[in-house]
Structure 1
Amino acid sequence: MDATVENPDGMTVPSKTLHFLGNLLTFRARSAQTGGSFSLAECQTAPGAGSPPHTQRDEEAFLVTEGQFEFMLDGKTHLCGPGDFVHVAPNTPHAFRNPGDRPARMLIINLPGGFHEGFFDAVGDVVDPATTSFPPMSPPDIAMIAAAASRYGIELLPPTA
């Protein structure tokens, strides 16, 4: 399901929410709106959920707005709360996880736009943009996820101990 939002120029654009591995991602600015410069997503993460370790060609930044996230960045773990900012340079191994017992939220910026949008469009399940609950998770199709990741410049890494 897509909702629409109006940008400052009065142009109506789709706002899509996707569920993937316990994350609800709502794209607030897509590559097509920014001339390919960046994309901006709001991410709500279920307790214990997050992203697997990976690297990517694009640059990424996270701003925690609610709850806490553990970020693994180049082998080091950082616990971050509201207002904390994490920058990930291209090709840097990273992952994140919500260690809390409630959903956590953050904003995610990818530069340039397009890579992550394409990946999440390929692997995510479209949900109602107004949803605040996480759909039941089924076992992930690792082969499909890895193939989509490869198409969008993302390399999945083995889990860390």
Structure 2
Amino acid sequence: MSLPLILEPGAGKTVHIRSSTCTFKLTGAETHGHFGLFEFVMPPETGGASPHIHKALTEIFYVVQGDVELVLDHETIAASPGTLMRVPENRRHGFSNPGKTSAKLLIMFCPADSREQYFEGLAELTRDGRQPSQAELLDLMHRFDQYPAE
């Protein structure tokens, strides 16, 4: 049985992926695997996720702050706060912050499974400015239903 939860701003486990931070607000373990909700903060002029697909999950992005570049299929959208993008399975998508100010996204995964482990793995692979190999990135991606898309 799940217990009610209130998280104050800044609360939740945070991992650092290069210069960005990802805070796990809710994980699959806390929602019976139904969904996960993460807060992703990117400094100005920062890449986020290169275009990719998920075969078994839906991903939802909500822009909270800043101007974010969202990619859906082969379209690029300049997304301001309040913009929502729902990405069903097997659809090409990605995001970045090409702007001059910090940006914040809420990212929801349905079902959640253990999606936070992907972000934890990416944080570990990029710790202290390390540049992981393509093989390391692909291995991590494939373990968590993520596949590069061109």
What's the TM-score, normalizing by structure 1? 0.78
3-state SS in 1 of match to 2:129: coil
Aligned length: 141
* Cα shift readout 1:58-93 (whole Å, capped 9, x = no counterpart): 100011000011111000011101111111111101
User: Alignment RMSD, CA only?
Assistant: 2.2
Query: For structure 1, which segment, 43-52 or 135-144, has the greater mean C-alpha deviation from structure 2 after superposition?
Result: 135-144
3-state SS in 2 of match to 1:110: strand
C-alpha distance in 2 between matches for 1:94 and 1:64 = 15
1:35 aligns with 2:32: yes
One-letter amino acid of the structure 1 residue matched with residue 25 of structure 2: R
Unaligned runs of 5+ in 1: 1-6, 126-134
Specify which of 41, 51, 54 is matched with residue 49 of structure 2: 51
For residues 9-20 of structure 1, the aligned pairs below 5 Å read 15-20=12-17
CA apart distance, 1:9: 5.5
Q: 1:108 to 1:9 in 2, by over 3 A?
A: closer
Unaligned runs of 5+ in 2: none
In the TM superposition, structure 1's runs of 4+ consecutive aligned residues that sit over 6 Å from their partners are none
What's the TM-score, normalizing by structure 2? 0.84
Query: Identity of aligned pairs, percent?
Result: 30
Q: Could you tell me which residue of structure 2 aligns to residue 24 of structure 1? A: 21
Are the counterparts in 1 of residues 29 and 114 from structure 2 also a CA contact under 8 Å? no
For residues 113-132 of structure 1, the aligned pairs below 5 Å read 113-125=112-124
C-alpha distance in 2 between matches for 1:93 and 1:19 = 24
Q: Could you tell me which residue of structure 1 aligns to residue 107 of structure 2? A: 108
C-alpha distance in 1 between matches for 2:5 and 2:97 = 36
C-alpha distance in 2 between matches for 1:46 and 1:140 = 21
Specify which of 111, 117, 131 is matched with residue 139 of structure 1: 131
Are the counterparts in 2 of residues 21 and 49 from structure 1 also a CA contact under 8 Å? no
